[in-house]
């Protein structure tokens, strides 16, 4: 009978050890954090409502939140912050043009045909040609035709 109690005690001890090791592995095996040199980088974004530039660290932008490709504004709390576009004419940082959703976002599981790809590229080129810099009133994007 003593041998049976020892065996049960050994099995119980092994279960406890495996459980503790499992908890430690689970705690430390999560998604790795980027290094501080990355999360501490200052990133400039522009508010799409008024063109105000805001600079925060990458970690601050990520903590603020992102929705539909836009970050939360530190001023208003709305999701209106995007990466600024540098105007090719005057070099100023301005609100970028709004482009249609990319083809990857349409009907997942269906491969777009050549006509759809061409139509999407033409729509983007048209926007680039017509978008004027809000500061200098010149075309803000390089001419897509060359």
pTM: 0.66
46 versus 123: the higher-pLDDT residue is 46
Does 24 score more than 80 pLDDT?
no
107 versus 110: the higher-pLDDT residue is 110
Does 67 score more than 70 pLDDT?
yes
Residue given tokens 């033409």 in the structure block = 122
Helices (H), ranges, the chain: 2-28, 36-39, 58-64, 114-130
Cα-Cα-Cα-Cα dihedral of 104, 106, 111, 116, to 10°?
-100
Segment 118-133 shows an average pLDDT of 90
Average pLDDT, the chain: 85
| Percent of residues, the chain, with pLDDT higher than 90 | 48
Q: What is the pLDDT of residue 106?
A: 60
Quick: pLDDT tens for 46-58.
999 999 999 999 9
């Amino acid at each position: 009978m003593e041998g049976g109690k020892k065996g049960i005690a050994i099995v119980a001890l092994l279960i406890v050890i495996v459980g503790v090791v499992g908890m430690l592995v689970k705690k430390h095996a999560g998604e790795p954090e980027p290094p501080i040199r990355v999360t501490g980088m200052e990133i400039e974004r522009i508010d799409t409502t008024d063109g105000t530039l805001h600079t925060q660290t990458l970690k601050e932008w990520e903590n603020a939140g992102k929705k539909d490709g836009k970050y939360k504004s530190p001023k208003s709390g709305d999701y209106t912050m995007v990466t600024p576009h540098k105007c090719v004419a005057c070099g100023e940082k301005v609100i970028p043009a709004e482009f249609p959703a990319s083809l990857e976002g349409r009907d997942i599981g269906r491969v777009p045909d050549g006509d759809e790809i061409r139509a999407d590229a033409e729509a983007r080129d048209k926007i680039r040609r017509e978008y004027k810099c809000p500061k200098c009133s010149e075309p803000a994007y390089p001419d897509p035709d060359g």
